[in-house]
Chain A
């Protein structure tokens, strides 16, 4: 069992507050991903959990014990760094056995554990090499192996895949997910890459400016973003955001009018907005389609053909550019005049303060009240 609990955690450097009161519960065996733009405080928060940064205020509990004043060496956590941070003067085997050596574990036992971890990570033939003789991917494996050997309460990852090339990153992503399954360990993972967050996490924590914007399962964040920031941050390409105005309230939602004067109804609960309110309408690219009798007229600016999918950047009234996800066979090309039709079910509405207006129905893959796959 290994849980991590953060209660109103704060970090100040002099007068500057970089973590502004974070509350979080990480359940046993959960894979939690901190995601956010650079400078949002996600790495600082991870380092505070690790004990590498002091905690200015608030409580950090590891397995129910307050850990604020416990040094990094005694927290029983393991960390994988972005730069791998292998010990350059030691062989792979010595790197992996370092923590055991410090703990006074016998040589045979050390060898046994290192071999065991090396087998999991296919590092067997590399054990006698030095870090500089390894490729980036191999170094990353050693760094993970060093963490596994410790049998830590919690694994901490600080952007571990950022230094790898794209193909290797995808491969390591899958291996990390498998490893999580196999080790049944609690993991906290920091990344700025929302694909990594979406694919690996049980629970995503979106941070911005030292504040948690939303915590939830990947699909929850995707389908029910709590505010404009999360809506814009999660999903690639980004959600289309357009100004609109509430013109009426119906039984199954709110009727809004976009800048071009076209009304349509969005299935959200209407308590928070009133007719006449300025709002922001969000539509993901897959909820827009080209159709001859669509509501919105526009001109194709750019087509990005990925093969299976095509992303069309379409300029609509005013200076608004909307991204549409179309089929790979879509024939529209640059400068074509097209019409877009909106799938209202996929629309999101954000009040003037940027907070989302709650949907009438929750996405069918999201269990009610569940934060993650395993924590339910």
Chain B
């Protein structure tokens, strides 16, 4: 196959995949501006006069801002906490491995393979007994724990890319472990840390299972905000779409702005 042909093919495939992935989001966006009748019409109406009534209704019914603030606080704090714990862990695993390091890493990852519902009851009871139900602290704790394995794994991979001699040179120059990490390792692994943080924020933001089960009102993030439109009065697709659009908009914009950083981080080791 000529390179021109394969170029066209990968262009078509790439855009095809992108459109396929983006279509549900586009559809949701459009539905949010339809009336409830238009929203459930079959076949769907492609041309309609957009209305803001769903958004008005959504804002009237719920305090979007307080949900959004909860989402931001929980995502950012949980991510910061996870990074803070993961940096020393990944540093030791990457630069002072023992024969158990590999096993520890795999074990940490294996916890992600367990369905969270399996530990829902003990978690709920723990949260209840420690008074963490429906608190931001509680959500921060569960999100930190939830993302810690993946954050450590990612940082571990990024740290492995840093030549150990550079840290050894630092040690010879008189650096203590803390200085070695803060003055040499972190600046060198900054792109990796940035993309790990981005991923962690996105995962926290999108997390629904724990937030729906462990929060009710005070600490409820945007996932709970969406969910609140799906049950009590039956399904209102247009309003649900409007609420969903509002919930994912911030993270979508955030992800779009940082996509270069994100892609660079995720392919850091692969394209060297």
Contacts and interface: CB of A to CB of B under 8 A. Distances in A.
B174 A81 contact: no
Interface in B167-226: 168-176, 179, 183-184, 187-188
B187 A89 contact: yes
Nearest to B162: A88
A78 interface: yes
A85 B176 contact: no
Contact of B174 (A83, A85, A88, A102): A102
Contact of B165 (A81, A89, A146): A81
A79 B169 contact: yes
Interface residues of A, number: 23
Nearest to A102: B174
Given A52-B171, A73-B174, A78-B172, A102 B179 contact: yes
B163 interface: yes
A32 interface: no
Nearest to B187: A89
Nearest to A50: B172
A103 B174 contact: yes
Contacts, number: 57
Contacts of A98: 170, 173, 175, 183
A85 B169 contact: yes
Contact of A99 (B165, B174, B187, B188): B174
Interface string A87-112: 11100000000110011000000000
Interface centre among B170, B172, B175, B179 (most CB of A within 10 A): B172
A99 B165 CA distance: 15
A356 interface: no
Contacts of B176: 73
A351 to B, nearest CB: 43
Contacts of A72: 168, 171-172
A163 to B, nearest CB: 12
B166 interface: yes
Given A81-B169, A85-B169, A102 B188 contact: no
Nearest to A47: B168
A77 interface: yes
B173 A102 contact: yes
Contacts of B184: 87
A71 B165 CA distance: 16
Contact of A83 (B165, B171, B187, B188): B165
A86 B173 CA distance: 11
Contact of A52 (B166, B168, B183, B187): B168
Interface string A58-77: 00000000000001111001
A348 interface: no
B96 to A, nearest CB: 11
Task: Report whether over half of chain B's contact residues are helix, strand or loop; otherwise say mixed.
Answer: helix
A71 B166 CA distance: 17
A88 B170 contact: no
A87 B172 contact: no
A52 to B, nearest CB: 5
A10 interface: no
A89 B176 CA distance: 19
Interface centre among A50, A52, A71 (most CB of B within 10 A): A52
A141 interface: no
A150 interface: yes
A87 B168 CA distance: 11
A216 to B, nearest CB: 29
A85 B171 contact: no
A139 to B, nearest CB: 12
Contacts of A102: 173-175, 179
A81 B163 CA distance: 12
Contact of B188 (A50, A77, A88): A88
B173 A85 contact: no
A96 to B, nearest CB: 10
Contact of B171 (A73, A89, A103, A146): A73
A73 B187 CA distance: 21
A239 to B, nearest CB: 36
Interface string B49-66: 000000000000000000
A87 B166 contact: yes
B163 A146 contact: no
Contacts of A83: 163, 165
B173 A146 contact: yes
A156 B165 CA distance: 14
Contact of B173 (A52, A88, A99): A99
Contacts of B168: 52, 72, 79, 81, 85
A204 B192 CA distance: 44
Contacts of B183: 98
Contacts of B175: 73, 98, 102
Given A78-B172, A79-B169, 9 more contacts: A50-B172, A52-B171, A72-B171, A73-B174, A78-B173, A79-B172, A87-B169, A146-B173, A150-B174
Q: Which 3 A-B pairs have the closest CB atoms?
A: A85-B165, A99-B173, A85-B169
Interface of B: 163, 165-166, 168-176, 179, 183-184, 187-188
14 contacts: A52-B171, A71-B171, A72-B171, A73-B173, A73-B174, A73-B175, A78-B173, A83-B165, A85-B166, A85-B168, A87-B169, A87-B170, A102-B175, A150-B174
